[in-house]
Amino acid sequence: MPEGDTIFRTARTLHRALGGQAVARFETQLSGLAVVDRRSAIAGRIVEQVGARGKHLLITFSGGLVLRTHMRMHGSWHIYRPGERWRAPARDARIVIGTAAWVAVAFAVNDAELLTADELILHPRLSSLGPDLLSTDPDLDDARARIRSSGSRHIAEALLAQRAVAGLGNVYKSEILFMAGLHPFTAVSDVPDETLNALLHRGRDLLRLNVAETSISATRTGARRTTGSLNPEASLWVYGRTGKPCRKCGSTIASQNETDGRRTYWCPACQPAHRRPIPGRG
């Protein structure tokens, strides 16, 4: 699933291409969007803003309509010049927004809806989001309190709870836990406030570093870097490195599947378990 930095960069790219432009073409395979479009046509409206809120991408049109999309596991937005060949099959195109200069296409994006301004404010998924680590001034004290009350089984699960803190995903979860030397299956109640603060600050800083346009921490394709190395083969500490040696101590990186299908990675030596890990499925 794309993480907060991916959504942020996507929104920035879409805004630069579409912002201030009139919509000349709007097509969709999604019945819910098509119904709203027939009632209140998107074509002819101005794209006023494209932004990100956690893992949600919001395209604001003139006249008070907002397109909310969530990429889930496999969705993506592409930008093309009119007439340019698409890099994904047309059958996977769920939304097409065309202006005189650009065509934006959402591929495999099935979580989408058109909302009025009032509906956006009251939206249950958006209104329940925790502080967005890519916002200008996220309330990290609030995020810490939300993590404490999230009811998560362990700290790895808590960091992914978007109602506690928005923007972090599976890659950053594993990476910041490694950098803090904290075992991923530590109970939230066993994590001191200062450690939670450190995790949130590290997560915020890494997200910001990986969306900075002048940063060397992200490649042109947006590949994440947490180690500071310019070597693309050494960009991450533990994520995706099961069975490989730890970059710090040489121990073998471990991993475990979670109930949501995601996989958690850690170094058993650098992140010692003080309690028995919660069993997973792999």
175 is catalytic: no
Task: List, for residues 35-58, the tens digit of each pLDDT value.
Answer: 999 999 999 999 999 999 999 999
Residue from 48, 55, 124, 131 carrying the catalytic annotation: 55
124 is catalytic: no
pLDDT-derived band at 220 (thresholds 50, 70, 90) equals very low
78-105: average pLDDT: 97
Residue from 2, 131, 138, 184 carrying the catalytic annotation: 2
CATH architecture of 4-127: Alpha-Beta Barrel (3.20)
Separation of alpha carbons 112 and 134, rounded Å = 22
For the chain, domain boundaries: 4-127, 140-266
CA-based end-to-end distance of the chain:
20
Q: What is the CATH number of domain 140-266?
A: 1.10.8.50
Residue from 3, 157, 175, 258 carrying the catalytic annotation: 3
Q: What is the value of pTM for the model shown?
A: 0.84
Q: What is the pLDDT of residue 233?
A: 86
2 is catalytic: yes
Residue 225, pLDDT above cutoff 90: no
